[in-house]
Structure 1
Amino acid sequence: MGALILARLGMERGLAENAVLAGSGLTLAAMEAPDSEVSAEAETAVISNLASTAGPGATWGLDAGCRYHLTTFGIWGFALMSAPTVRAAVDIGLRFIDLTYALTAPYADLDGADLRMTFRTPALPDDVACFILQRDMAAVHTIQTEVLGRGARFRRVTFTQEPASPEAAARFTEVFGVTPEFGAAANTVVFDPGLVDQRLPQADERTTALAQAQCRALLDRRNAHAGLAGQVRDLILARLRDVPSAGEVATALNLSERTLRRRLSEEDTSVRTLVDEVRATLAAEFLASGSLTVAEIADRLGYAEMSSFSQAFRRWHGVSARQFVAARTP
């Protein structure tokens, strides 16, 4: 979704699809698929195309960050929205930051008694690094306003970069609602201490626990591509509507079924378990994104009967799909 947002921004600004996606290996059609995943390298290539077109000192990164809504981030955004407080939301967000599009490796600490997030400058060309910093920091502000309301502001915002013009400086102030300190030692946002421990409007401990469990499962899946289990997951993902049998998986991997079972057992899993994990994770992710109906999700995951999908979803997540959707609806 993140690269798709960037591509659409570039095309709105006059870039052709092949120009905005040059060097990324991406296509709009592939990115529009609900289960698409984009590497950091591919996303950086798109950002590089945008930054070079925008020119030095541009604020396209801020414009991009304003388009990264809670719903953009799927289950990660759901976990933040249902967190008890801003402080808890920051903690959750950073624990699962690898599920987002952030390329600045942010971390939280205290500025005196105030909660502060610091964003590292990526080791990339200056124009690309500036775009990414603008985007990631503006996205955090967008999320804060969606969680707390449009009146929410950071207490302080600092950038190491200097604005290229008074117009650029004004755009920073417009986006953040406060005038940043430019030429600072670090890129930071400091939260209003009066808001940090205030209970969030949609706080729900059960819901955020469920969402965090899904974040952990999704992160585990993304980190598992190195082993045999990762290869099996890839085969399952390629045939969601017609999940391969253990025999078909073994054939695709040039293994006997016995060897496949043994090697997966050494990784504490099985083909059946991996099918369940993939379906459970994607079901929650699709529902959180709101991009598909429950019936469409059931079909995409290979369930001919809604009743079978409903039973499986309750077994995976402890609630019905309808309850899962209702819990995330404001």
Structure 2
Amino acid sequence: MPSVATELPAPAAADWGFPRSATAILVLVEYAGSRGVGARRALAGTGLHPEDLVEGEVTAAQELTVVRTLRGLLGEVGVDVGQRYRASTFGAFGFAMLASRTVLDAMDLALRFIDLSFAFAIPRASVVGDEVVVTVDGGDLPADVRRFLVERDVTAVVAVLDGLVPGGVGARVTWTEHAARIEFGADQLSRPLPERSPERLELAARMCAEVVDARRARTGLAQDVRVLITQRLPQGAPMADVAHALALSERTLRRHLADEGVAYRLLLDEVRSSMDLALRGGRATMPVAVVAQRLGYGSSAAYLHARRRWQASRPRS
């Protein structure tokens, strides 16, 4: 039986500012709809439309805006929202957890890829004697939505844990003002998962690694700018629009990015180049004009010129 705290890794993310799948907001919007709040009202202030939630990424700030709207309209409903989460809610990340060999393996994977979750209150886990202790501290969260987010995230963690094995792991929650403590028997860590599959785990874990590698390539403001560029790519992602979404002037955005050692044009190029690979890799017959439009180019010629430049700069395998 595990008996030391070092058997579970520290979470890969130190704070909540990482990008997340658009599903993060879709869950909130669907809950809002069940309470009579329309999608467009729930998305007010995010710059997003309901059709934007089908795929892609959103920033933590955009999700936080929806949380504030829901809390303002519906009150402290974090627990109700948290009950909607299951491992499968998180796409490849969730499927990798479900395909893991044991509860311990699933928890290890979850902490290593925590920035593929939608968490704001980052969980930390350890084994203390005969108990697994998961602490969720919301002390660093914005005060106005702290309770909502802690209650949502803790409830979601318990729902995912209990969904791993038949009958659940017997998780117990102790609440404090800005945090919570989840406990269950350490003997639960060795329980095999009914959906375990080495083959599916390998595939899902590889997909997770590809996503986090791309996300972790940039940090800070540049990370959010990349997400906002992607959302606005068909319109050319003008810097003025992205700056407005961040409540900054173009000059201030340019200065902040320079402080991080990057230029807006470089980020736009990075996004277009990676999207180009994804579009042409998955749909080899997609017309050049369609790819050009998806990447925000005014003409096929402009896109082809850029593509030749990217191909020349990519390392050869």
Q: Which amino acid aligns with 1:210?
A: L
For 1:222-301, list aligned pairs within 5 A: 222-224=215-217, 226=267, 228-236=269-277, 241=283, 242=286, 244=288, 251-252=302-303, 255=306, 257=308, 259-265=309-315
Structure 1 letter corresponding to 2:198: E
2:74 maps to 54
Check whether the contact 2:130–2:187 (CA below 8 A) recurs between aligned residues: no
Corresponding residue for 2:176?
160
> In the aligned structure 2, how far is the partner of 1:234 from the partner of 1:256?
11
The match for 2:199 among 202, 206, 209 is 206
1:25 and 2:66 are equivalent in the alignment: no
* 1:81 CA drift (Å): 0.6
Contact 1:110-1:116 within 8 A present in 2 as well: yes
Q: Does 1:189 align with 2:211?
A: no
- Please tell me the residue identity of whatever aligns with 1:11: G
- Which residue pairs with 2:257 in the alignment? none
Task: Note if contact 1:228-1:263 (Cα within 8 Å) is conserved in structure 2.
Answer: no
1:151/1:110 Cα in 2 relative to 1: closer, same or farther (>3 Å)? closer
* Alignment match, 2:11: none
SS in 2 for 1:201: coil
Question: Could you give the per-residue CA deviations for residues 129-150 of structure 1, whole angstroms, max 9, x where no partner exists?
Answer: 2111111111111112221124
- Unaligned runs of 5+ residues in structure 1 are 162-182, 270-330
Q: Distance in 2 between matches of 1:128 and 1:37?
A: 22
Per the TM alignment, residue 16 of structure 1 is displaced from its structure 2 partner at its CA by 3.1
Q: Deviations over 1:92-125 (max 9, x none)?
A: 0111111111112222223344222222316343
Q: 1:110 to 1:151 in 2, by over 3 A?
A: closer
Task: Tell me how far apart the structure 2 counterparts of residues 29 and 80 of structure 1 sit (CA, whole Å).
Answer: 28
Shift of 1:48: 0.7
For residues 185-217 of structure 1, give each alpha carbon's deviation from its aligned partner in whole angstroms, at most 9, with x where no partner exists.
x42212222311122222223332332122101
Query: What is the alpha-carbon distance in structure 2 between the residues aligned to residue 87 and residue 4 of structure 1?
Result: 29
User: Structure 2 CA distance, aligned partners of 1:227 and 1:105?
Assistant: 30
Residue 148 of structure 2 corresponds to 131
CA distances 1:228-284 after superposition (whole Å, capped 9, x unpaired): 554311345567642759x97893396482x4333222xx67xxxxxxxxxxxxxxx
TM-superposed CA distance for 1:70, in Å, is 2.0
The Cα of 1:47 is off from its aligned counterpart by 0.5
SS of 2:118's partner is coil
Q: Which residue is 2:209 aligned to?
A: 216
Structure 2 residue runs of 5 or longer lacking an equivalent are 1-22, 218-225, 227-266, 296-300
> Which of 73, 86, 105 is the aligned partner of 2:103?
86
1:99 aligns with 2:149: no
Q: 1:244 to 1:40 in 2, by over 3 A?
A: farther
Identical counterparts, % of pairs: 30
The aligned amino acid for 1:217 is E
Residue 260 of structure 2: aligned partner = none
| Residue 4 (structure 1) aligns with | 26
2:92–2:207 Cα contact (<8 Å) kept:
yes
Q: Residues 190 and 243 from structure 1, CA distance in 2 versus in 1: closer, same or farther, beyond 3 angstroms? A: farther
Specify whether residues 16 and 205 from structure 1 end up closer, same or farther in structure 2 by C-alpha distance, changes over 3 A only.
Answer: closer
- Structure 1 residue 41 and structure 2 residue 58: aligned? no
| Aligned pairs, number | 236
